[in-house]
Amino acid sequence: MSTFKALLLDMDGVLFHGDRALPGADEFLQAISHLPYCFITNNPIRTPAMLVEHFVRLGLPRVDESRFVTSGQATGEWLARQQPDFGFYAVGAAGLHQTLSQYGNYDPETADFVVVGEGEGLDFDTLTIGINLILKQGARLVCTNPDHNVDASIDGMHRVLPGGGALVAPFAVATGQTPVFIGKPHPLLYEMAMQRLGVAAPDCVMVGDRPDTDIAGAAALKMATALVRTGRFGRGEKLPSGLEPDWDCESLTALLDRWRDACPESFGTKTKAG
């Protein structure tokens, strides 16, 4: 691929770790600013408005809310397609509740869907309400993303937190219902971003840090892929069988250098100091 029409980018592990921007993130965003691009994330905790402010706090460029597509938004979109004016009961962070409320109505009594996302919210009471809605009211079990665990930075320390796939497990076990998963590697997040940008999969490059979600989902759609080893998947780790990203780089800076050499029509010629 010698020219780019559009980019899709993951964020956690690519641009930042928690409350710390990764080296080269600001330069990378400046370098792609002339291209159509969207951020797509399996994390449903923050709304697009929250993500704009998070970028600013990290010292990254302020971007428009329309550039973000979260798994919370994709879940709301999917639910609305299944049943307009749906009722939902959500277990997860406040941002997930805010997002779903833009698509449907909160209804802990007769909800059509029980939605489980990341963040605080799972306890004995919420689990009990959810399984009764599923078993007695016929609600469908939906999860924003399939990640078993996710990385976080808390007080400057790396922590591993439960992902959507772990948090939905008690509901699945208690009810025997297999959840519907929405986020990467499933296609809806990619499709929503491409629709916003007005491009097709062969014209896009997906930049991510997780082969099992970011890269696998994009490759299944015949999209070019770029893996940066600044997140969960570190330097020297062997790629999963059958996954071969088009670019495999140690950092965003290394990726940008390769793109400037390989795709001069999209990025121009890099001027070297000396």
Give per-residue pLDDT as tens, 91-133: 999 999 999 999 999 999 999 999 999 999 999 999 999 999 9
User: Using CA atoms, how far apart are residues 111 and 108, in angstroms rounded to an integer?
Assistant: 6
* Residue at 58 is within a domain: no
Give the active site residues: 10, 12
* Residue at 52 is within a domain: no
Same domain as 122, residue 103: yes
| Amino acid letter for position 26 | D
Instruction: Show the domain range for 168.
Output: 71-181
CATH of residue 140's domain is 3.40.50.1000
Backbone angles phi, psi at 211, to 5 degrees: -60, -35
* Residue at 105 is within a domain: yes
The residue out of 129, 155, 181 marking a domain boundary is 181
User: Using CA atoms, how far apart are residues 95 and 218, in angstroms rounded to an integer?
Assistant: 26
How far CA 45 is from CA of 79, 99, 105, in Å, comes to: 18, 9, 18
How do residues 146-198 score in pLDDT, each as one tens digit?
A: 999 998 777 777 889 999 999 999 999 999 999 999 999 999 999 999 999 99
The residue out of 154, 181, 208 marking a domain boundary is 181
Quickly tell me which residue has 């070297």 as its tokens.
272
Same domain as 191, residue 131: no
Domain count, the chain: 2
The residue out of 122, 147, 181 marking a domain boundary is 181
Return the minimum-mean-pLDDT range out of 139-143, 183-187, 231-235.
231-235
